[in-house]
Each structure stands twice: as C-alpha cells, then as structure tokens.
Amino acid sequence: MKKKIYLSSPHMSDEGYEQEYIKEAFETNWIAPLGPHVNEFEKEIASYVGSKHAAALSSGTAAIHLALKAAGVEAGDIVFCQSLTFAGTCNPIIYQNAIPVFIDSDYETWNMNPDDLEKAFQKYQNVKAVIVVHLYGLAADMDRIVELCKKYSVTLIEDAAESLGTTYKGQHTGTIGDYGVFSFNGNKIITTSGGGMLVSNNAERIEKVRFWSTQARDKARHYQHSELGYNYRMSNIVAGIGRGQLKVLDQRIQKKKYIFDFYKRELGHLDGLHFMPINDWNEPNYWLTCITLTGKVKPLDIILKLDEENIESRPIWKPMHLQPYYEKFDFIGSNVSDDIFENGVCLPSDTKMTDDDLDRVCSIIKGLWK
C-alpha cells in the first residue's frame, strides 16, 4: 500500500520536549488532574498570545461552554454564532439552554459577515453573546464585529480553536474579544491529544471558570457544592505535552505556510481552482490549506481521487444551519457559507509532509484537469 498522507496529524517535537515534561510529571508523581504543568501551560499560552489570564480545560468545546457561562448566558438567551464552523462551536449554546441564531460568512474572510451580524442585531433584542470563528486559521473582520458588539453591549467570544498563532493587525486572535478559545485536539497545529484553553483579561471570570471546571467545589473541609460544576480541568500530563508543543509552534506555523505556498505555486494556475482568502491585515497560521472549485472538477472528484491513493482530504465544514439538529434555528445571511461548503476542499496539510509528498498530491490533482 502506498504511504499514507494525513490531513493534519499530531507532530511531536524532534527535540523530545514533550517527553521531558511527561517524565518530570512521573518522577515527581504529579499524575493527578492538577499540577505545576497546568499552571505553567496557562502562563505560557497567555504570554504567547498576549492575554493576561488563561484557564486550561479538557477541550475547546468546554472552553466555549464556560465562556458562555462566564458571560451570563442562561436559558432563553439569544447567542449569535457563525454558521460555517464545527459543531463544537455551537453545541455549548444548547448546553446552556440558550437559543442559537446562525450568521452567514463573507467571501473576503470565510468568517462571520459583519453586515449580516448587524442585521441580526436589528432583528433580535435579548442577545447575550456573539461567537465568531477564525476558520482554518483565517482571521475574521474583527474591527467591525468588535464595534457592533460594543454598540449593543454584548459579550464577544472568539473561537480561535483553529487559529492559534494567527494575528489580526498584529494582535493574536483570541485576545481581541472578551474571551478567546483555543483547542489542542489531535489535528490542531499543536496538540495535547485533547485539551483546550480559555483566555481573557478578566481575572475574576477566569478564576470563576477554574472553579466551575473542578466541579465547583467550595472552600470547605468537606466536599460542598453551592453551584453546578463540571469535570473540565486539564490534567498535568496533558499540560506537559502542551508545554513541549508550544516550544515548536512557530516552526509548525512556518511549515503550514510553506505547504500553502507550495500548493498555490503548483495548483494556482488550474482553471476554476481558488485558494482561501489571505488578507493583508491577517497573518494566518495556515492550519489547513483550503480551496474552492468553480469549474468542471468538483470537490468530490479530488477527495475520492486522493483517497484512492491513500491520501486524506475532506470537505469544508457543513454550515450549522444546514445540520439536521440545527436547521430549526434562525439563519441570517445569503448562503455564502453554503456555497463555500458545497465547492470547498481541505487539502492535506500535515506538517510532516515532505516535498515528495506535496508533489504527489499536486500531481494527482493536476491529473484531474487533463
């Protein structure tokens, strides 16, 4: 069988940083859920992105859930959420028994369309929060989105699960709104196998999130709980992996950009093939290289052909307003996200890919145009 090429698989450091931290945890017997690596990983992520505070959690979804809770979102509240995203962005809205309203994307960013967000604010009154996504490492048009959230006094949550290391006008995504969410799932630009981080400049809210994430245990000699809590805290072992991965994040971003540039150079001339938008105010982390197709070759043609050659690719996220579970909720927009989904492909963007691997992928894709 031909060598497997992955979409985006875990990539441990060549230097073995992760193993050093894990070994330290074992040698000091810090195998319990909390420990020094958790505290240090929080500090290091906060320092890297330029946020004052961070809470290490079990997943990016958990981080969004507790961001909504920290924002005071309760049953019946309206939460505006980008439609073109993964279900982990909006499922926590339902956890809080709130009501999602889905907002379309624009072609300029592939992210939340500020014009549609403004229309949504004009339509709904009791809005508690907005969740904007930085899809595939591409920053949303944050100036206008921030302006609208401030105008209507609504909490802004950035789902930066896919955009760790991406900057918008020099500022890291995840630090522009009130709360920022990062994911360290196995396919992300750095991974802890599973895990997430919530960042904010609000010390009191982050401290409250840490409290909720450890089952909301009151300060008492016995186990006492005055609030509903969750088992959402990151473990010391997982945090150790994250600390090691963070040391090579800049290398991973550099390789992701190399992959994007390679594809653009080799495939950019193909009729009807268009690359995801890179704006001059945005320095992405290029997590996945994504394309849309408007000619005779269709997304499924590429996906199936690559699959025949033992190469992973996948469609663009199916918008949430098209999902069976969420189709009953309101959607504000003109179906741009539908169009990107129907015509989009995520190309293999694994940081372990060699030039030979990239040549192999490009050769297969070019063959569909012959």
| Burial of 208 from C-beta contacts in 10 A (0-12 / 13-18 / 19+) | middle
Cα-flanking dihedrals φ and ψ of residue 178, to 5°?
Answer: -80, -35
- Structural domain range at position 332: 249-367
Partners of 105 in beta bridges: 112
Q: What integer pLDDT is reported at residue 52 of this predicted model?
A: 98
Q: What integer pLDDT is reported at residue 29 of this predicted model?
A: 86
Tell me: do 23 and 56 sit in the same domain.
Answer: yes
Cα-flanking dihedrals φ and ψ of residue 81, to 5°?
Answer: -140, 135
**Domain end call among 246, 272, 289:** 246
Q: Are 309 and 364 in contact (CB under 8 A)?
A: yes
Partners of 99 in beta bridges: 78
Give dist(CA 85, CA 358) in Å, integer: 27
Q: What integer pLDDT is reported at residue 131 of this predicted model?
A: 99
- The total of other beta-carbon atoms located within 10 Å of residue 281's CB is 12
Q: What integer pLDDT is reported at residue 1 of this predicted model?
A: 78
H or E segment to which residue 18 belongs: helix 17-27
Tell me: do 78 and 153 sit in the same domain.
Answer: yes
Q: What integer pLDDT is reported at residue 30 of this predicted model?
A: 79
Q: Print burial letters for 211-228: b (CB count within 10 Å at least 16), e (below 16).
A: bbbeeeeeeeeeeeeeee
Q: Is residue 305 one of the residues assigned to a domain?
A: yes
Tell me: do 119 and 266 sit in the same domain.
Answer: no
Question: pLDDT, tens digit, for every residue of 82-101?
Answer: 999 999 999 999 999 999 99
Residues with Cβ within 8 Å of residue 329, at least 6 apart in sequence: 99, 100, 101, 102, 321
Alpha-carbon Rg of the chain, whole angstroms?
21
Tell me: do 265 and 132 sit in the same domain.
Answer: no
Q: Is residue 195 one of the residues assigned to a domain?
A: yes
Tell me: do 273 and 350 sit in the same domain.
Answer: yes
**Domain end call among 218, 246, 274:** 246
Q: Is residue 2 one of the residues assigned to a domain?
A: no
Tell me: do 159 and 129 sit in the same domain.
Answer: yes
Return the percentage of the chain with pLDDT > 90, whole number: 94
First to last CA, the chain: 25
Digitized pLDDT (tens) for each residue of the chain, 370 residues in all:
789 999 999 999 999 999 999 999 888 887 777 889 999 999 999 999 999 999 999 999 999 999 999 999 999 999 999 999 999 999 999 999 999 999 999 999 999 999 999 999 999 998 999 999 999 999 999 999 999 999 999 999 999 999 999 999 999 999 999 999 999 999 999 999 999 999 999 999 999 999 999 998 988 889 999 999 999 999 999 999 999 999 999 999 999 999 999 999 999 999 999 999 999 999 999 999 999 999 999 999 999 999 999 999 999 999 999 999 999 999 999 999 999 999 999 999 999 999 999 999 999 999 999 8
What is the DSSP code (8-state) at residue 30? -
3-state SS string over 64-113? HHHHHHHCCCCCCCEEEEECCCCHHHHHHHHHCCCEEEEECECCCCCCEC
Tell me: do 225 and 308 sit in the same domain.
Answer: no
Q: Is residue 5 one of the residues assigned to a domain?
A: no
Tell me: do 356 and 235 sit in the same domain.
Answer: no
Tell me: do 235 and 284 sit in the same domain.
Answer: no
Tell me: do 103 and 189 sit in the same domain.
Answer: yes
Q: What integer pLDDT is reported at residue 218 of this predicted model?
A: 86
Q: Is residue 10 one of the residues assigned to a domain?
A: no
Tell me: do 134 and 271 sit in the same domain.
Answer: no
- 203-213 vs 60-70: helix axis angle to the nearest 10? 120
Tell me: do 108 and 170 sit in the same domain.
Answer: yes
Q: Are 54 and 206 in contact (CB under 8 A)?
A: yes
Q: Is residue 7 one of the residues assigned to a domain?
A: no
Q: Is residue 11 one of the residues assigned to a domain?
A: no
Q: Are 97 and 65 in contact (CB under 8 A)?
A: no
**Domain end call among 246, 275, 296:** 246
Q: Is residue 356 one of the residues assigned to a domain?
A: yes
| Burial of 31 from C-beta contacts in 10 A (0-12 / 13-18 / 19+) | exposed
Residues with Cβ within 8 Å of residue 204, at least 6 apart in sequence: none
CATH code of the domain covering residue 135: 3.40.640.10
Q: What integer pLDDT is reported at residue 370 of this predicted model?
A: 86
Q: What integer pLDDT is reported at residue 203 of this predicted model?
A: 98
Q: What integer pLDDT is reported at residue 252 of this predicted model?
A: 98
Q: Are 90 and 71 in contact (CB under 8 A)?
A: no
- The total of other beta-carbon atoms located within 10 Å of residue 169's CB is 13
CATH code of the domain covering residue 253: 3.90.1150.10
How many structural domains compose the chain? 2
- 142-151 vs 114-123: helix axis angle to the nearest 10? 10
How many C-alpha atoms does 197 have within 13 Å on its Cβ side? 35
Strand 344-347: give its sheet, edge to edge: 273-275, 289-293, 344-347, 314-315
